[in-house]
Structure 1
Amino acid sequence: MSDILKKICDVKVQEVAAAKRAIAFEEMRRDAESRVSTRDFVGAIRAKIAQGQAGVIAEVKKASPSKGVIRPDFDPVDIAQSYMVGNGKISAACLSVLTDRQFFQGEPDFLKQARASTLLPVLRKDFMVDPYQIYESRVMGADCVLLIAACLDDAQMAEMEQIAHSLDMAVLVEVHDGEELQRALKLKTPLVGINNRNLRTFEVDIQTSIALKKDVPADRLLVTESGIATRDDVKAMRDAGIDAFLVGETFMRAKDPGEALAKLFG
């Protein structure tokens, strides 16, 4: 685990401990289990691909540890709505909303606001270190949770996946190398994200996704993450048989994120 990732995960452990003092585990679990049905995250991506389009998970993100503030005029509702279809434009399949406060300047309310303002399924983009956060994610309104293989051991991933699926949430498991990919493939989720950013150096190489694609079984849905900035990047991925994308910074730096999505994938 990289130094920055370890630092983030250590902070998450402290945050979860504080959250449990505020709302006990059993209370959070009962609340999560009482929530109404979720939106179909995997189905939304597959539907776009079936139409011949890219399945885009469009991010709602204010800042990052490596880049600082990316979007000063951050409004989660405006951003989320810009990703919805309009005037025949290419649109997002799903949303990804950062809820981490300390490192990404996110908020749980950003997820709630983004989801309430659209019909799109929403991924809670955060760092899961404890089953409590899976229940918490459902209470926030998330339709999908992120499990980062570098943060978790196999038993933790399996337990969190089981909880997420019991709550009708999808799971996106994120990997960066072949070893993590083999661990991720032990899970039941069809969603496998390949992060093109090396979390040890923060360097980005989109060839990472292409190189690992050959080891991803056909029944899994590979999502390429980080570094997709040009139409050539998109073409390289789609030529390699990769049709699902998670894109954040490229959209966040654009005046109109939805227009940027349409131009990149149109």
Structure 2
Amino acid sequence: MNSPFVTALLAAERPLIMEVKRRDAHGTDLLAGRTPAEVVAAYEAAGAPCLSVVTGRWFGGTDALLREVREHTVLPLLRKDFVTRRAQLTETRELGASAVLLTAGLLPARTLRTLVIGALRTGLTPFVEITSEEELARVPHPEECVIAVNNKDIGDRERGAGDLGRSLRLLPAVRAAGTPCPVSAGGIDGPEAAARLLAAGYRGLLVATALLRSPDLNAWPTVNTPPGMHM
């Protein structure tokens, strides 16, 4: 699989997809007076292998935010939004992203297949988010996708605390599907939870709110950090 996003994540000492997001699910400001450029600089200093940028309106995102982040980093970028049309794939590439979020629970099987194949043909890594084995079974070409278990639920606009047990339960099935890079996403509230998921076998974690509120990004685990230990 020739994917700058996956290559960077798999080679990282601290395999966290660090997210730039203006607001949380409750509407609370997460930048707290910082510019996106300042957030990106802090993430790079902490060893981020790649970044996620939320362009979805639920969280105060815009296409301009992705363009701004692209201007300040050469790291591979994931565009997080509700992508439902092929035209959005071309748009995502033009905005400077290397990967695109596809939410399996929101897409009919035929549409999901069209978008995964379209992303690959556009030069984007499909970052397919699932919450169940049924959704996983509908993912085409999983060996060419990042498959991410979302610990939160779209049905409540991701306002809940999240269920990290979902990631632990689904990891064997995600591995068996053939993805080179299983990811746990959402609800990862601190370094200890992150260390447990990495120790369980996840090759990457997508973390947003907790990182944006973290007083010390270097306290987050590396691949060699035992669960329960801080850096």
TM-score by length of 1: 0.75
Trace 1:1-266 onto structure 2 (pairs within 5 A): 40-48=4-12, 53-85=13-45, 90-101=46-57, 103-184=58-139, 187-201=142-156, 202-203=159-160, 204-217=162-175, 219-220=178-179, 221-254=181-214, 259-260=216-217, 262-265=218-221, 266=231
1:212 Cα offset (Å): 0.3
Tell me the secondary structure at the aligned position of residue 216 of structure 1: helix
SS in 1 for 2:83: coil
Instruction: Determine the C-alpha separation between the residues in 2 that align with 1:66 and 1:180.
Output: 27
Task: Report how many aligned residue pairs link the two structures.
Answer: 216
1:213 CA displacement: 0.5
Letter aligned with residue 175 of structure 2: P
- After superposition, the C-alpha distances for 1:204-243 in whole angstroms (9 at most, x for unaligned) are 1111100100112354111101121223212221221113
Structure 2 unaligned spans of 5+? 222-230
CA distance in 2, matches of 1:199, 1:239: 27
- Cα distance between partner residues in 1 of 2:175 and 2:49: 22
Other structure's SS at 1:63 match: coil
Identity %: 28
1:13 aligned partner: none
Aligned partner of 2:174: which letter? V
State which drifts further: 150-159 or 178-187. Answer: 178-187
Q: Structure 1 unaligned runs (5+)? A: 1-37
Offset, 1:183: 1.6
TM-score (norm 2): 0.86
